[in-house]
Structure 1
């Protein structure tokens, strides 16, 4: 039985120009959604909008850098005339891998501002609309990362932001108990998207990549089942996740022999 009805949603998807954001827009579009697609580049958003409409939905676009002052206000103003807002997908994010002391302050602030501050502020601004859902729960879907479950070397700031987003969702879920808002967090493992093109770590270093289609299938199935925590990592990574709970120092020991190879493989990983 479908617990959460995903049909005919009216909502906002951030980072909708590519990757997971675009794929989720198409899934909701195929279910009759009307979407506001938010991202930095007008051209990629328009391409997503055309795909959403071909899938059976409708879409508006808003080219917006969510780290800039006033950006959240512009998103909320874009949907002020909508009768309903019952979906928010906090997907926009960026990454810069490498040793902490070699990471610039600008890159650190960019990750914190987009990956954590922006979704918190956008969720806060839209909560009155989301709580006003008529006959079914609204959805807040936060796209975290498997790195929130196992902190990986050379991703310390990214891990901090994605862990923060996960705990934000958990706390908010409890805060909104009985208020008609379903808060869910997704933990994708390495996924074959444009965000990963500058990263060269492979399965030998624990970075088994799943196809975007497989990840999105898991996300939508989890949502339809009413799950609050949706882990799309491959089984090879889940063993490490379980070990990180029971014996985190064993994870340290397992990673130590590969540190030099991993650093070389991820040092150019950047989507900022």
Structure 2
């Protein structure tokens, strides 16, 4: 896909990967609208992005609610004059043992990480079809490929998003709408600030800009997926497929330290 001139809506675009992706797409001459739940963060992001050149539309909204999803899509399409790329990036996480996690937090992860992208995509499909050369980008997680202890519900939601994208890509094949799934690894974003796990526990972190650049390359190449984490991640994915018991044993040795390091990891 040639990104120049494409009209893009990025959910969760006021910080982290979403904000970095907005910058990267603007550098390719895309027209961009971003959403965010926090007015102050959204205003700052818009100010920063506008300072780089092309004007950016901001929509303050929680896309996990029906009314906000509808208004988000309406305002973005009106401002952009249509829609060519939808990036389902907004997400939330609450780590910890399943039985110690509040039901409201479990439901919030499912609503934000899985249900909202599905329903927003459904609503956006008429505009994307009208484009004739459109794409849906779903930002999942490396945990969708290799489940980690203390992230059971987050892994379930992100893996669900990944399989949703795969099935929808096949459903839409030949109809002018492609679907790409991104699997970031540990990324240096505000969402990760309350996670104290380091590389020794499998949480190496890279800049959000590196993830964004890889996603942009994937969009340009019409890729099916973008997986971050390098050779180490590729080896872990292969081991998880071929010998999952070995991965179980590896996590067994890390469990006490990992539980302590992620018990306060919350961004909902």
* TM-score (norm. length: structure 2): 0.96
Contiguous gaps of at least 5 residues in structure 2: none
- How much does 1:61 deviate? 1.2
Q: Which residue in 2 is equivalent to 1:198?
A: 194
Query: Does 1:244 pair with 2:240?
Result: yes
- How much does 1:256 deviate? 0.7
Extract structure 1 runs of 4+ deviating beyond 6 A.
Answer: none
Q: Which residue in 1 is equivalent to 2:11?
A: 14
Count residues with an aligned counterpart. 267
**Alpha-carbon distance in 1 for matches of 2:70, 2:212:** 29
Aligned partner of 2:256 among 240, 255, 260: 260
**Alpha-carbon distance in 2 for matches of 1:66, 1:84:** 19
Aligned partner of 1:57 among 54, 57, 62: 54
- How much does 1:182 deviate? 1.6
Aligned-CA RMSD value: 1.3
Equivalent pair of 1:201/1:265 in contact (CA under 8 Å): yes
- How much does 1:84 deviate? 2.2
Q: Which residue in 2 is equivalent to 1:221?
A: 217
Q: Which residue in 2 is equivalent to 1:122?
A: 120
Q: For residues 64-103 of structure 1, what are the structure 2 equivalents within 5 Å? A: 64-81=61-78, 82-103=80-101
Equivalent pair of 1:28/1:57 in contact (CA under 8 Å): no
- How much does 1:79 deviate? 3.4
Equivalent pair of 2:21/2:213 in contact (CA under 8 Å): no
Q: Which residue in 2 is equivalent to 1:183?
A: 179
Q: Which residue in 1 is equivalent to 2:144?
A: 148
**Alpha-carbon distance in 1 for matches of 2:255, 2:17:** 28
Q: Give the secondary structure class of the aligned counterpart of 2:93.
A: coil
Q: Give the secondary structure class of the aligned counterpart of 1:141.
A: strand
Q: Give the secondary structure class of the aligned counterpart of 2:188.
A: coil
Equivalent pair of 2:24/2:213 in contact (CA under 8 Å): no
**Alpha-carbon distance in 2 for matches of 1:206, 1:11:** 33
**Alpha-carbon distance in 1 for matches of 2:209, 2:63:** 26
- How much does 1:260 deviate? 0.7
Please identify, of 65-74 and 179-188, the stretch whose mean Cα deviation from structure 2 is larger. 65-74
- How much does 1:159 deviate? 0.2
* TM-score (norm. length: structure 1): 0.94
**Alpha-carbon distance in 2 for matches of 1:199, 1:234:** 21
- How much does 1:80 deviate? 4.6
Q: Which residue in 1 is equivalent to 2:34?
A: 37
Q: Give the secondary structure class of the aligned counterpart of 1:67.
A: coil
Q: Which residue in 2 is equivalent to 1:230?
A: 226
1:152-209, CA deviations, whole angstroms, 9 ceiling, x for partnerless residues? 0000000000000000100000000111112100000001111111111111111111
**Alpha-carbon distance in 1 for matches of 2:64, 2:217:** 31
- How much does 1:133 deviate? 1.1
